[in-house]
Amino acid sequence: MDSKEVPGSCDEAGPSSIKEEPVNLPPPPPLPASGILPQQLQLEAVNVPPPGILPQQLQPEAVNMPPPAPQLEKNEAQRPETPRLTPMRRPGLGRCGRPVQLLCNHFRVTFTNIQDSFHYNVTITAEGRPPVTNKVLCRKIMDKVKEIYGQSELDNKEFAYDGEKSMFTIGPLTRNNVECFVVLEDDKGSSSRVAGSGSPSEIEKKKKRKEDRGQKFKVEIAFAAKVSMKSLHSVLQGEVSDKAQDALRVLDIVLRQHASRKGYLLVRQSFFHWGFAPLVEIGGGVTGCRGYHISFRPTQKGLSLNMDVSTTMLIKQGMVIEFLLANQNVRDPHRIDWLKAKRVLKGIRVRTVHTNMEFKILGFSEQICRNQLFPLKTRNGDSEPKVVEVTVLDYFINQRRTPLKFSADLPCVDVGRAKRPNYLPIELCEILPGQRYTKSLTTPQRTALVEQSRQRPEERMQVLQKAMDVNDYNSDPLLRACNINVDKRLVALDGRILEPPKLKFGLVEESPRNGRWNFNNKTMIRAAEIKSWAVANFNPRCHPNEAKFIAHELQQCCSKRGMVMSTCGGVLEEPPNGRNLNPIDRVERMLEQMKAKLPNPPEFLLCILPERKTSDLYGPWKRKFLSDWGIVNQCISPIKKVNDQYLTNVALKINAKVGGLNSVLTVEATNRIPKISAQPTIIIGMDVSHGSPGHADSPSIAAVVASREWPLISRYRASVRTQSPKVEMIEALYKPSPTGADSGMINELLIDFYKTCKSPPNVARKPMQMIIFRDGVSESQFDQVLNIELQSILKACDHIESGYRPKVTLIVAQKNHHTKLFQNVNGNVQPGTIVDANICHPRNYDFYLCPQAGPIGTSRPTHYHVLLDENNFTVDDLQILVHALSYVYQRSTTAISSVAPINYAHLAATQMQQFLKAEDLSEAASRSGRGEGSVASGVGAVPELPQLHKKVCDTMFFC
């Protein structure tokens, strides 16, 4: 059966299917051999052996390089300033492919005689306090302002308020500066307090008395700017207009206010309510809450409202102790990690069950309830009050007459301030509904969320249609004031279906069907040879005989696919007494066993891990053997049944890692790719991986991969660096040193391209064309990609040789967007579906492409933005190339949702991020004096990644 990647291995091994008939074609001649890495790229030609088309084996040869060309002195001050680049204009529409009628989750927006909006700054302060910043409270205050001052000071105008400092009206207010005072009375419906009797401490009593008096707020409204809503016309006509973004922001704030008044939880442009749809249980005390993402988008057919189903995570309503037991997966409260509990619950609102009052959690007490003291004022008759120290347990039992069942030996919940704690027994605290869970999810939670939130296309369309009816945006007073009308029907549009590219295997060619192919009766186009290898088994459920069976079956499977793989040199078993050690020591012990049992280090290691992807061994294992020993390795994890389908996919990954090729495009093998086959062309993928939620201080990992062995476009090399946390722009593309050398990522990849480029006329050549794919940036960052990252790349080129300037095609790929495509019939759109009209940008060069099949859920197309094209591709040639690059992914037998270089960059960044796990990073710091990893010096310095070993740095170790 056909299949995509199977989540059975830590390196995400998956099956291939085996059913197609072979096609007998003559075997291809071998490709050229690799050279040795030069110190600097040169213009001079270097004679190399005659090249072939596709090699069966990559065998490095030495290439004698001429001395570096002298660098020209550059006076930066005399250089003309580079003009600032903007995204290019769309050159036209594509024509290739079969026409298809589609629907889209956009809704047409029409407007006539639209009036200008006026922006006002809002400052809200309470007596003797800093400005109010709580959005919920600010919205309540502004609702009160409208109720009291709506006719007098606000001229009876509707306004849109963002919950912070900005308010917008249609038409100006009479006065540019308005000052007013409001009091929020404490009523039964207030969310700040529900009626109750008394409080658990003197601090609570003071808070209650203050709330009873009500709070007085001063609201200052000052004119800031006029926002031309008419600028929407200009952007829809294809003009570049910064003012249009301001107008769209006003409309988005109107949508947020509309959702706020309906009681939705607001998360940027997404709105959620726990009463809208059944909450989804995903484990660990966390539930999934379904809602909507809504935003206005300018398109070729005018303004549209983009609505999509969205999901966020909420902390499950209930008692605090029940949440902590579920969240930490323990049964005994005494086994709770209270430091972890504080990180998860800090800032969460709770209600006391004995008084019905609400508080925010600050943390937990240092002592348990029976030992935790606090000062209590007491008074006997007319005598002076005195302060005595009492325990929280005694206070609640004796003073409050509140029985406690199990809190005596547990820490108290602190709901006070940093210098004035306020302790409550944990069993009296209940978590309120509708609060987001912002920490990173575990693998089981992510799996449960994906499974529970999947929607078939027809179901998603029904939900969206219902949401439009329920929200009824045409009734919103501000949208009516803007003369804006939203159509409630999904947009119908024309699309096209591109034909899949033909693939070449060892002896056959094949056209994929429905975005899939298989390796049945096929061999790899370039099958590698592995002379020595071994198995390291960390899995106690995998018996030594079973590990030997897996090794034997893998060898047989690889042989069927054309690989020359010797008999396994041995199975290394972890002793039972070593399984309780920390992961680093476990890996070290396995290494010692390998050195003792094997006469020489193996070329390849198969590692059997005890858990899927979440194993703590993965990071230390990868670091030890990729950085210190230079041994290519593949991790797999427990699976129910080891079959040929699973092992075939493992074999594909192994072959790619050790220098082989599984399949290539037929046009790639025959040098018939438009533009690319004519001149040396390097294809680059760039991505940045950030720390997971709750780890804001973790460094970001920037990865850049680049094609090698031109005219091939299926082999890649990676360059990876750490950079400042949460920084999206890649900092080390060009990195000159005081000595004049460039230690940047682009220099490294250009040199690798040069040494592996062996095409006719038998010379190593620099790339004259660059095709760059950038992932992970929003439209607001396009300017930085063009004018910071691209300029760094060009500086790296110029540093290699003065005046060296390849032509660049720069494309941004966006996967995290909210546009979905639907067929008029049930099921997902067909693989190869492309849309570049109707819902695309009115000026810029963009298109949506869905290369993959969608057997589960609703397919998401990748949104490509062509920011620059100096290579002058035709629209069809560029779209066909992007589509084809989704078929060169060596890890699986399916087309993937975006181009392979971007996926490889993401894999490289994710794998290298494992090197910086907390336990491994501390080990690296302790061993830095011995050269095994280094940490940059200085305050707040970013830890550097350990260097990859020279034996694996130019392999597809990430595959």
Tens digit of pLDDT for each residue in 856-901? 888 999 999 999 999 999 999 999 999 999 999 999 999 999 999 9
Q: Residue 46 pLDDT more than 50?
A: no
Task: Dump pLDDT digits (tens) for 564-616.
Answer: 999 999 999 998 888 888 888 999 999 999 999 998 999 999 999 988 766 88
Look at residue 262 in the predicted model and tell me its pLDDT.
Answer: 80
- Do residues 754 and 38 make contact, with C-beta atoms less than 8 angstroms apart? yes
What is the Cα 871 distance to its own chain's centre? 30
Backbone dihedral angles phi then psi of residue 875, each to the nearest 5 degrees: -60, -45
CA torsion angle for 508, 509, 513, 518 (degrees, to 10)? 30
Q: What are phi and psi of 688, to 5 degrees?
A: -130, 130
- In the chain, the N- to C-terminal Cα span, in Å, equals 23
Residue 58, pLDDT above cutoff 90? no
Residue 789 has pLDDT above 50, yes or no: yes
Is pLDDT at 822 greater than 90 in this prediction? Answer: yes
Helix pair angle (338-345, 320-327), 10° resolution: 110
Residue whose C-alpha is closest to residue 97's, from 496, 536, 543, 554: 496
277: number of Cβ within 10 Å: 15
Question: Rounded to whole angstroms, how far apart are CA atoms 660 and 676?
Answer: 22
Q: Is 769 helix (H, G, I), strand (E, B) or coil?
A: strand
Strand partners, 495: 100
CA 655 – CA 642 distance, rounded (Å): 19
Q: What is the helix (H) or strand (E) element at residue 926, kind and residue range? A: helix 918-927
Nearest Cα to 706, choosing from 697, 695, 714, 698? 714
Mean pLDDT of 414-419: 88
Q: How do residues 190-206 score in pLDDT, each as one tens digit?
A: 333 332 333 344 444 44
Please write the tens of the pLDDT for every residue from 661-671.
Answer: 999 999 999 99
Residue 403: which pLDDT band, with cuts at 50, 70 and 90? confident
How large a percentage of the chain has pLDDT more than 70? 83
Locus of tokens 């309906």:
262
Q: Which of 195, 467, 445, 447 is nearest to 316 (CA)?
A: 445
- What local confidence, expressed as pLDDT, does residue 613 receive? 61
Q: Which of 668, 385, 341, 353 lies closest to 502 in space, CA to CA? A: 668
pLDDT band per the 50, 70, 90 thresholds, residue 49:
very low
> What's the pLDDT tens digit per position in 218-234?
999 999 999 888 888 77
State the pLDDT at residue 901.
98
Query: What is the average per-residue pLDDT within 628-639?
Result: 89
What number is the average pLDDT over the span 548-570?
94
R_g of the chain, CA atoms, integer Å: 32
Q: Are 498 and 97 in contact (CB under 8 A)?
A: yes
Instruction: Determine the pLDDT at residue 893.
Output: 94
Name the more confident of 579 and 499. 499
| Number of helices and strands in the chain (H, E) | 21, 41
Distance (Å, rounded) from C-alpha 687 to C-alpha 729?
9
In contact, 504 and 664? CB cutoff 8 Å: yes
Residues 6+ apart with CB under 8 A from 414: 361, 362, 363, 364, 365, 421, 422, 423
Region 498-522: mean pLDDT is: 93
118-127, 308-317, 417-426, 800-809 — most confident range: 800-809
Residue 765 has pLDDT above 50, yes or no: yes
Secondary structure class of 199 (helix, strand, coil): coil
Q: Can you tell me the mean pLDDT for 735-746?
A: 93
Q: Is the pLDDT of residue 958 over 70?
A: yes
Q: Which residue has the higher pLDDT, 230 or 714?
A: 714
- 577: helix, strand or coil: helix
280 or 778: which leads in pLDDT: 778
pLDDT for the residue numbered 934: 39
Q: Is the pLDDT of residue 62 over 50?
A: no
Query: Strand runs (DSSP E) across 353-385, as ranges?
Result: 358-360, 363-368, 373-378
- Say yes or no to pLDDT of 188 above 50: no
**For position 515, what pLDDT does the model report?**
94
pLDDT-based confidence at residue 187 (cuts at 50, 70, 90): very low
pLDDT of residue 112: 80
- State residue 925's pLDDT score: 40
More confident residue, 51 or 427: 427
Provide mean pLDDT across the span 918-938: 42
Average pLDDT rounded to a whole number, residues 787-815: 96
Q: What pLDDT score was predicted for residue 683?
A: 98
- Give the whole-angstrom CA distance, residue 197 versus residue 782: 57
Contact 97, 832 (CB under 8 A): yes
Instruction: Say what the pLDDT of residue 857 is.
Output: 83
| pLDDT of 479 higher than 80 | yes
Q: How confident is the model at residue 471 (pLDDT cuts 50, 70, 90)?
A: confident
Rounded distance between C-alpha atoms, residue 646 and residue 137, angstroms: 55
Q: Phi and psi at residue 811, in whole multiples of 5°?
A: -130, 130
| Angle, helices 918-927/583-597, rounded to nearest 10 degrees | 60
- pLDDT, the chain, mean: 83
The answer on pLDDT for 33 being more than 60 is no
